[in-house]
Chain A
Amino acid sequence: MTAETRFERSLPGILEDLYLGPTPDYRDEVLAAAVRTRQRPAWTFPGRWFPMLDIAVRPVAAPRLPLGALGVALLLIALLVAALAYVGSQQRTRLPFGPARNGLITWAFDGDIYVGDPASGDIRAAIPAPDIDRNPTFSRDGTHLAFLRQVPDHTGDFDLVVTQADGSSPLVVSAVPLKMPSEVVWAPDGKSLLVNDEDTRMFRYFLDGSTSQLLLEGVAFDPQPFQPPDGGRIFYERTSDPGSLYMMSADGSGARRIFGSQASCACSRVGPAAWSPDGRLIALPLSTDGETGRLFVMNADGTGLHQLTDEAGKWFESEPAWSPDGTQIAFNRWQADDAGDYEVRPIGIVPVSGGQVRSVGVGPSSGGALIEWAPDGKSILSLPDTVREGFKWSQGAPGTIARPTIIDLTDGSTRQLDWSVGSISSWQRLP
């Protein structure tokens, strides 16, 4: 996903070279010292006769909004404001961005790709095939599905396949298999896909059969690098300049740095950045003290950087996700306790215009959530962050199994879908 990937993969080898030696020559001495100690009798351990439960993370129920108490007048005002915001958003965002109708959700599990209807809960296999398929993603207009298919007997090598949204008419668009791609992203016009492989190369593949392009080497990009609405520009990170953000035209020309160490704040980027649906702003988590992380927003050209969240206390906020109408940002957050330990908190939502952070849903898994807004902007799909690890590191394995949660933002309720999900998911937009 980012430039960390390559460094992380080489780190175990570096550390072994640095520190790992043969069995230490003090082996016999320390063993002798250990066994000279008297063992504690088993009965002195409470856990042997007292049932001790493992500590469990209990979901924290988010307080329900007291809508009833607010009265009819307040409701009418809220509706009026919402209507104005909706109208305003329609003026700012252009297709294929902005609110849309909710379609199906797709995901991979155990090498197969499924689609499910979050309203009814019904699911079916989208791509019935004996192959190992993963990482499905709908095009922004909802008409196509792209996914990775492992080359038989070549673990880690994948073909990039595109089908109609119903799984029909499969087309392999990669002439040569890709090496363990970390990101597959549709261009907004649905005519090409951007892929980042394990060798930090950025490829572009075209559905019309045009020759694929190697745009850049030594780069990584975040989950949504294309600038809305037309994808004319792409932002990315240079692996030789970690934490930076660069921008270039979609054809690979005109690269320039828009965020880095000489930015207008003494800060470092601590997570993926995200385009606003109108393509005018970029949200990104930054740390100004090397410990906490806060959400910031800047203009598309890197100017106008300002902090968006300012809750009291020490927070680590990351993975911003814009609402389809571009008025709110949802994000993961952890809060430090008195000892400085960070505990996960429910997903936060903050208005882009500024204001208080609102907690929604129950507390996600301790690693945070994969946050995806429903195309209509009325709910959020939350999956444990661990399914991303399952995809990236467990080649050929089903990886983590998770149950997705739908957080209804209109009434604050949550419901868990009885689906087995083993990958990042994608929610189809319908006209």
Chain B
Amino acid sequence: MDQQVLVERARRGDDDAFAMLVSPALARLDAAARLILRDGELARDAVQEALIRAWRDLPGLRDADRFDAWLRRLAVNACLDLARRRQRRPIEVELTVIDSPSASDHAGALADRQLVDDALRRLSPAHRAVVALHYLLGMPLPDVAASLGIPLGTAKSRLHHALAEMRRSTMAEPDPGASPVPGGQVA
């Protein structure tokens, strides 16, 4: 069913329409929330808070086409609110169990993933939010900035430092040379 129709129906209190609207996005919102909060229970709380706000404030959404972006923003802001409120709570890391490695998996890739995860743990929730929105939810950087209510320059700066941290973690110590090709070869 058309998203605009679902939004209109949900605005008028149709909870089935609301469920159809948000269900396709839940897995990815949950993933983003776990990335940002590093805690499965907190992630669930954040997603629930986002859905409550979405349902409550849906009649105020002026542009139905913006529903998905609006929901993502609510979820990320709920994450950041929770992170601020629970700054002193010990962090419990819970990752999705991957049933079986895909065909492209290999030991190096698995190690990379673990190193990326370790690097993300060292970042602040605000930095992880930029990573989640840009790389996990696929939002262009200007939209990331708008969603978080920060200038684009700030988003770029945060993304740069997050990437630098992750790259530092995944890159081994430099080896002596960068695969020189003596004498060149036919391209």
- A interface residue numbers (CB < 8 A to B): 3-4, 7-8, 10-12, 14-24, 26-27, 29-31, 33-35, 37-42, 44-45, 47-48, 174-176, 203-205, 211-219, 238-244, 246, 251-253, 255, 257, 260, 268, 270, 290-291, 293, 316, 334, 340-344, 365-368
Contacts and interface: CB of A to CB of B under 8 A. Distances in A.
14 contacts: A11-B135, A11-B163, A11-B166, A12-B138, A14-B112, A15-B131, A20-B96, A26-B47, A39-B55, A244-B174, A340-B154, A344-B152, A365-B152, A366-B151
A217 B179 contact: yes
Given A30-B44, A30-B47, A238-B178, A39 B171 contact: no
A203 to B, nearest CB: 5
Interface size class of B (residues with CB under 8 A): 35 or more
A235 B164 CA distance: 20
Nearest to B62: A47
B51 interface: yes
B26 interface: yes
B168 to A, nearest CB: 7
A290 B154 CA distance: 13
B52 A212 contact: no
B55 to A, nearest CB: 4
User: Which of B30, B44, B175 has the most chain A CB atoms closer than 10 A to its own CB?
Assistant: B30
Contact of A34 (B27, B31, B51, B182): B51
Contacts, number: 224
Interface of B: 11, 13, 15, 18-19, 22-23, 26-28, 30-32, 34-35, 44, 47-48, 51-52, 54-60, 62, 95-98, 102, 109, 112-113, 116-117, 131-132, 135-136, 138, 141-142, 145, 150-154, 156-157, 160-161, 163-164, 166-168, 170-172, 174-175, 177-187
A33 B45 CA distance: 11
Given A30-B51, A214-B181, 7 more contacts: A14-B113, A31-B18, A214-B185, A251-B184, A341-B154, A366-B145, A367-B152
Contact of B52 (A19, A37, A342): A37
Given A39-B58, A215-B181, A342 B171 contact: no
A49 to B, nearest CB: 11
Contacts of A290: 161
A24 B52 contact: no
Contact of B27 (A23, A47, A217, A334): A23
Given A18-B113, A176-B187, A240-B178, A34 B153 contact: no
B24 to A, nearest CB: 9
A244 B19 CA distance: 50
A323 B79 CA distance: 46
Q: Which 8 A-B pairs have the closest CB atoms?
A: A213-B184, A45-B60, A366-B152, A334-B153, A342-B153, A19-B31, A34-B51, A35-B15
Contact of A24 (B26, B152, B174): B26
Nearest to A241: B174
A366 B34 contact: no
A366 B112 CA distance: 32
Contacts of B27: 20-24
Contacts of B23: 23, 27, 31
B178 A255 contact: yes
Contact of A291 (B59, B135, B153, B161): B161
Contacts of A253: 180
B147 to A, nearest CB: 13
B44 A252 contact: no
A375 to B, nearest CB: 30
A268 B181 CA distance: 29
A341 B98 CA distance: 37
Given A34-B48, A216-B178, A252-B181, A243 B112 contact: no
A28 to B, nearest CB: 9
A15 B116 CA distance: 8
Contact of A217 (B28, B167, B178, B184): B178
Nearest to A334: B153
